[in-house]
A and B are shown apart, each in its own frame.
Chain A
Amino acid sequence: MNPLLQARGLEVYYGNFQALFGVDVTINEGETIAIIGANGAGKSSFLNSLSGLAPSRADHIYFEGRPVGGTSPFNMVKLGIGLVPEGRRLFPSLTVEENLLMGAHGRTVDRGWNLDTVYDLFPVLRERRHQMAPTLSGGQQQMVAIGRALMANPRILLCDEISLGLSPAIIRDVYAALAEIKKHDTTILIVEQDLTAALNAADRVYCLMEGRVTLEGAPASLSKDAIRRAYFGA
């Protein structure tokens, strides 16, 4: 297997506050990885440092074997690292289609994602392409956020809490779309509090607690007890 994105001893500080303490995570090409953990475990700090939004040292993050930590977010996406941010964060004064087109700014290669293929993945967005983003339902907004990240044609898609605030039926739809995206040779990293959704989708799971990795493995190999301990502490 070919490591695509790696964190090696990743530490993240916000001023004097340390959020991550030497996190090691390897994401191989084509895998779907889930990062689970309680609120405040450091999941978002981890994702933000991978996408460049949180500061990190160059030799703490590797992309295709090259140190890329601390690269600005607008260059991270051009490397092929796309982010679906927590809370969706659509541009409220732009239409659905304009939101998607903003995503194309980070595009450096064509891996098959464009307006047409994104609309094929989420047909409801084609109907609503000229609506302003805030007028959509939560699930539709999440689809725009995923589609917007896809428009950059990323090698790896980082998804932060994409099930947050959505109904179970919608969560199923969103994860079905992720499975579809994976078929496009796209590596996926999901950060989730919804354990069931995460364990069903992932090839491997990492559990974070208080800024450290406490558990790692394939979902089938992990007992519920082990997960509970890794999640909440002993």
Chain B
Amino acid sequence: MSTTTFEGMPATEPRAATEPSYLTSENTIASWLFTRDHKRIALMFFASVTFFFFVGGTAATLMRLNLATPQGLLQPAVYNRMFTMHGIIMVWFFLIPSIPTTFGNFFIPMMIGARDLAFPRVNLLSWYVFNLSGLVVLFALVMGGADTGWTFYTPLSTVYADGYVFAAAIAVFINGFSSIMTALNFIVTIHRMRAPGMTWMRLPLFVWGIYTVSVVMLTATPVLAMDTFLLAFERFTGIGPFSVQHGGDPILWQHMFWFYSHPAVYIMILPAMGVVSELIPCYARRPIFGYTGMAIALMSLAILTFFVWAHHMFVAGISVYSAILFSLMTFFVAVPSAIKVFNWTVSLHKGRIIFDAPMLYALGFVLLFTLGGVTGLMLATLAVDVDLHGTYFVIAHFHYIMVGATVSAFFGALHYWWPKMTGRLYPEMWARSAAILMYVGFNMTFFPQFVLGYLGMPRRSYTYPVEWQSWNVLSSAGASILAIAYLLPLLYLGWSIFFGRKAGPNPWGATGLEWATPSPPPTHNFGDTPIVTLGPYSYDPENDTFIDQEGVSHAR
């Protein structure tokens, strides 16, 4: 059974352990700010996106607080700016960069047996560009925010909205360059720097997820740059392609915006799918079911996502024929998604399942993603979309995918790889409680919004008729639980950095190459380049063993 060889490095006592870890090799501030180590850059990205997650989350908290009563607490202008900034910050400053820039950055080189990304300096530049765009968006926020919704629909955004729309658009414009640099880096790294024997069909699915998302980022983000540039230009000069008065077309904005922003949804979910495909085999102690199908499904999602953008515009006045075509393409997207859900579920069959915190997040992911998916089918159905478009049903649907699924995967990844990143174990019971609390709080927040949406509550409203208050109160109550569930990990993970038990190289008995290094890893990851001869998930639930990277079978 033992076929993988990992030359000259017994995993239990790695030779590299004598080297200082990447955290302690240098201790000056400059050694962090000018580092080219992908692991340090990953932690810096982690700090940035976590900061923006809590900024965006604060805006969401204020929104739910306002909606607890029909009278509300906030001025209408403040509420409108809060949901706009919540959208902009969560989409571009948390969801899109979160998993790729932190876990992708940290683990892509380690999972393919490389010492760093292909372009370490570009990687660092990406972080600086990201923070530059972050400063611009914070400037827009502090000065009073924009009030257009994150979708910047024209002519509201170009002519009618006051507020800092120009600054917000420029922030998104700059942010795109960070995406492009990171994506390019991953693509080149995965193509060129795989260890000997790491064939495409032996790549862990997380690497596949990051690869596909990088392709989407690299091809879609330039369109976003064009969109936001034209928008800012039109707002600044009054001349532009989206203005009826000057012979332009406001619908053109929607086409251009969604041509990027629909793929952006997949930029958020594909890495999350990759994460869950790592977690489920590890905690079910068996190989993933249908590896090839999973990889093909990721690739087909990445391609199909470019042909469905107009399903955001079924009521905007596009022709009936193009609406029918885009609806059909959207139904095709459901097929690879259904394959993935099926395969994750069957991956539990005859496993030896351990319900540690990362697994709870992964199982939560599958259920929330499925509910987000089936409601997505309802929205893809033309006649039903006519009714549901622009209501809270849409809000609930995309939060199930983007928050329920992606953020669950983010936290799952964070717990799973925390011992590798910090060398410390977190308190398991606290982590499980947070995972369960997050699942309960999430459903309590967003499930009522499906009902509200079908009853007809329009999104982006600071007030509502009094008969809808009970659903809104339920949702706001859920949001407070959710807020606690998001804050908890900050506390116990922070605690574990100083007081947590020291983690061994492989606390979960996982098979990836990243677990063959000490925790935390040394700067250069591997003493010798590993040689790979086996696929990624060599777990055996029958004997409760796994085959490590030297080809030795271990009891868990």
Do the two shown chains form a genuine complex with each other? Answer: no
Q: What residues make up the interface of A, taking CB atoms closer than 8 Å to B? A: none
Q: What residues make up the interface of B, taking CB atoms closer than 8 Å to A? A: none
